[in-house]
Copies of this chain bind each other. A is one copy, B any other.
Amino acid sequence: MIKFNEKQQFDSVKGALALRPQIEKAADDIYKKGFDKIFFIGIGGTYASSMQVVHHVKEMSKLEVYVEHAAEFIASGNKHITKDSLIVYSSVTGTTQEVVEAVKILKEIGCTIMAFVDEPDSQLAKMGDYLVSYVLNEQLKFFMFMDRLMFLNGEFDDYDDMYAEFDTYLPQALVDVEVKADAFAQVFAQKHHNDDIHYFVGAGNQWGATYSYAMCYWEEQHWIKTKSIHATEFFHGMFEIVERDTAVTIFVGEDTQRGLSKRVVDFIPRICGNYEVIDSKDYELAGISEKYRGHISHLVMMAVNRRIDAHIEKINCHPVEIRRYYRQLDY
Interfacial residues, chain A to chain B (CB-CB below 8 A): 43-45, 47, 55, 58-59, 61-62, 64, 69-72, 75-80, 98, 196-197, 203-204, 215-216, 219-221, 223-227, 230, 232-233, 235-242, 255-257, 259-260, 263, 266-267, 270-271, 323-326, 329, 331
Contact = CB atoms under 8 A, between A and B. Distances in A.
Identical chains in the assembly? 2
Contacts of A47: 233, 236
A260 B326 contact: no
B325 A239 contact: yes
A189 B112 CA distance: 50
3 A-B pairs with the lowest CB-CB distances in the bound complex, closest first: A44-B236, A71-B232, A220-B237
A225 B324 CA distance: 24
Contacts of A233: 43-44, 47, 215
12 contacts: A47-B236, A62-B80, A64-B80, A71-B232, A72-B203, A75-B257, A77-B256, A98-B232, A216-B236, A220-B240, A236-B326, A237-B326
A43 B232 contact: yes
A323 B240 contact: yes
A204 B77 CA distance: 12
Given A44-B233, A72-B257, A331 B267 contact: yes
Which residue of A61, A260, A323 has the most chain B CB atoms within 10 A of its CB atom? A260
Contacts of A72: 203, 230, 232, 257, 260
A245 to B, nearest CB: 12
A286 to B, nearest CB: 28
Contact of A271 (B76, B98, B325): B325
Nearest to A239: B325
B240 A324 contact: yes
Nearest to A64: B80
Contacts of A225: 197, 227, 241
Given A71-B260, A325-B271, A235 B331 contact: yes
Given A69-B230, A219-B241, A227-B227, 11 more contacts: A45-B237, A47-B233, A59-B76, A64-B80, A70-B232, A72-B232, A72-B260, A76-B257, A226-B227, A237-B326, A239-B326
